[in-house]
Structure 1
Amino acid sequence: MSTNVSEVQLSSGSFIDVVKQRRSVRVFDPSWTIGEEELRDILQTATLAPSSSNMQPWRFLVIQDAELKQKLLPIAYNQQQVVDASAVIVVLGDTKSYEKAETIYDAAVAAGYMTEAVKEDFVKRSVGLYSSLPSEVMKGIVQTDGGLVAMQLMLAAKAKGYDTVPMGGYDAARLIEAFGIPSSYVPIMLIALGKAAKEGHPTTRLPLEEVVFWDSIS
């Protein structure tokens, strides 16, 4: 028991350090490259994020090629981190993610998390629900889930010693056209990822008294 407690304490402390040390970095070392295996590890950790009905609507376009980063540069309003970062992750939300419900829940059955009968019920209800939602409602769902996976991706990167910056400043329509993004995918954000050449600025936060309401907002 004491070993488990110690491990939990170490893990908790490490997590807090990662959260506190994460900064939005905009100046990256352009000579630094991140291997595919490490990128896969970061993305795999990110996908442990929660999502509505576990539909996992996130999709990632990983841009590492120098020419493609130059192509992305004007779309991202010429923000230099796009070309200097080791990779730019385009976070997308699939509004037809329910089409993978069978695959998702088959894996849950194989893992012993549910029976075949429960799976069939989950698939029927999930597909029925999400396929009937208005497009704006579905976009809201995948944007929420996309925000969750994006934050987890940035923390996973920081835990490996890398730096990131989430980017909302880009032309979504031009991004979709330039990179052939399917119409069912909603652009959520860009995340530049690499090694900082200049540390991100420390920032302050509002006190809890300004943002937390207990039982009633009044």
Structure 2
Amino acid sequence: MSGRDAILGNIRRGLGRGGPLDGAARAACEERLRAHRPVLIPARAQRPHDEQVALFVAMATEAAASVARVAGADDVPAAVAAFLDQGGYPRRAVIAPAQAVSGLDWAAAGIEVEARAARNGDRASVTPAFAGIAETGTLMLLSGPDSPTTLNFLPDAHVVVLDAARIVGPYEDAWAWLRRERGLPLPRTVNWISGPSRSADIEQKLQMGAHGPIQLHIVLVGD
């Protein structure tokens, strides 16, 4: 028996679940892990797609994110420029190297961009989202060479480009998409982001930008 099995066995015995898994019990556990069967799905996540999109916008807004809707990808740079202007940011941003973002015509919108990981002092970043979760207005972002995780946390303003077609109802559907579209190995990091960073740890007073961006702006593309 390995040290790992011994530790887990002690935990199971402490919970009254017997010793190390073996035989039929181990086979049943492994089959359950492979199947990825969803648990109870909230009723509010089980609705037609257009209603899921509306719920995502409502929940993201409730979480203090701002949302701009555009017809197509070509409209994204102008929407980002409007956000930067309104927030008093310079028309300059660090962007993810992903084609969904780096392939846009930023110069036409008067925005100076660099495709790289974020560094201290960057004011605004633009990244793509893998999916949006309607039940909580949450964004699912994946780490990788084309989407450095630093872009999600270092700049003051984080702009996320999300295709409305990639909004799902529950979290379980987003995980299913990831397994189906990416396979193994999964990304090293999956970030779930609901609104800008905040904390009420100090005197229970809400402080925005405590551990990350002060503002989260979502550019939602399509219907």
TM-score (structure 2 length as normaliser) = 0.26
Question: Which structure is larger by alpha-carbon Rg, 1 or 2?
Answer: 2
TM-score (structure 1 length as normaliser) = 0.27
Larger RCO of the pair (alpha carbons < 8 Å, separation 6+):
1
